C-alpha cells in the first residue's frame, strides 16, 4: 500500500470501491505534462525547515518540496525524451497584487524576489511554455485549453504543488474539459501531509488516476512489437 493511502481508513476505501469510485482512467496516445507552480515561492530554499521556508516566502512547503523535486525532474525528462508537450505554471508576474488571490488565505508579506523562479532541477528549457496564472486552476482565464487542443493532447498528467490547492483545482478542470487525467503521487507535495493524502484519495476516487512515477513509466512504455514473431 502506498504511504499516502495508509492515512485513509480501510472502511472508507471499501465504501468508495463498493460505490464504483476509484476506477482507473485510460492513458491516451498524446499525453501532456502540467507542472503546477514548482517555484521557490512554494518550495522554499533547499535545506530550510518548514518554518524557515514560510518565513522567507509565506506560501512555501519546506522539506517535502525538495523530496519531490528530484522526482518531478525525472517525470519532466520522461516527457522530454518522448518530445511530448510540457507546461510549467507560475504566478502571473504582471499581476503584482496576486499574492493570496489563488485562495482565501491572507498572506501579509509581499513575494520575495525569487518567489516566481523555478529551481534549477525543474527549470523550463527554451521552447517550453511557462504559463502565468492568477487563480488556483491552470485553466482559469488562461489560454491553456487552446494550447492543448493545438497540440492534440488527449491526456493530462499533473504534478506539483499544492496537492490540495492548485494541483487539485487544475485536475478537476482538466477532467471537466474532457481529458483523461493522471496525477503522479510522489511528484506532488503540500504543506500538510493530511491534506496531501486526503486530496490524492479524493482525486483518485472522482477525477483522475493517481499513479506512481514507476506506474506511469510502465503505462507510457511502447507496446512490444509482435509483428515479427515467428
* 166 is annotated as an active-site residue: yes
Q: Which triple of cell numbers denotes residue 92?
A: 502571473
Q: What's the rounded Cα separation, in Å, for the pair 206 and 152?
A: 24
Of 61, 166, 187, 188, catalytic: 166
Is 158:148 a contact under the CB 8 Å cutoff?
no
Beta bridge partners, 86, equal 33
Q: List Cα–Cα distances, 102 to 44, 56, 186, 194, 225, in angstroms.
A: 18, 19, 23, 20, 47
Catalogue the E-assigned strands of 37-145. Answer: 86-91, 129-133
Task: Assess contact for 218 and 208: CB atoms under 8 A.
Answer: no
Q: Which residues does the annotation mark as catalytic?
A: 166
Amino acid at each position: 500500500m502506498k504511504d499516502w493511502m495508509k492515512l485513509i481508513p480501510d472502511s472508507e476505501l471499501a465504501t468508495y470501491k463498493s460505490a464504483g469510485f476509484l476506477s482507473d482512467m485510460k492513458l491516451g496516445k498524446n499525453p501532456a505534462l502540467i507542472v503546477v507552480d514548482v517555484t521557490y515561492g512554494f518550495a522554499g530554499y533547499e535545506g530550510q525547515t518548514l518554518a524557515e521556508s514560510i518565513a522567507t516566502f509565506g506560501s512555501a512547503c519546506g522539506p517535502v518540496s525538495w523530496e519531490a523535486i528530484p522526482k518531478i525532474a525525472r517525470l519532466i525528462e520522461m516527457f522530454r525524451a518522448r518530445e511530448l508537450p510540457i507546461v510549467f505554471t507560475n504566478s502571473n508576474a504582471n499581476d503584482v497584487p496576486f499574492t493570496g488571490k489563488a485562495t482565501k488565505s491572507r498572506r501579509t508579506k509581499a513575494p520575495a524576489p525569487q518567489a516566481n523562479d523555478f529551481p534549477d532541477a525543474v527549470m523550463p528549457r527554451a521552447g517550453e511554455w511557462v504559463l502565468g496564472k492568477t487563480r488556483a486552476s491552470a485553466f482559469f482565464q488562461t489560454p491553456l485549453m487552446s494550447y492543448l487542443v493545438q497540440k492534440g493532447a488527449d491526456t493530462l498528467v499533473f504534478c506539483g504543488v499544492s496537492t490540495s490547492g492548485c494541483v487539485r483545482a487544475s485536475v478537476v478542470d482538466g477532467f471537466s474539459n474532457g481529458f483523461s487525467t493522471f496525477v503522479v503521487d510522489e511528484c506532488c507535495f503540500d504543506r500538510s501531509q493530511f491534506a496531501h493524502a486526503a486530496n490524492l484519495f479524493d482525486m483518485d476516487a472522482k477525477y483522475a488516476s493517481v499513479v506512481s512515477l514507476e506506474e506511469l513509466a510502465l503505462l507510457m512504455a511502447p507496446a512490444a512489437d509482435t509483428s515479427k514473431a515467428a
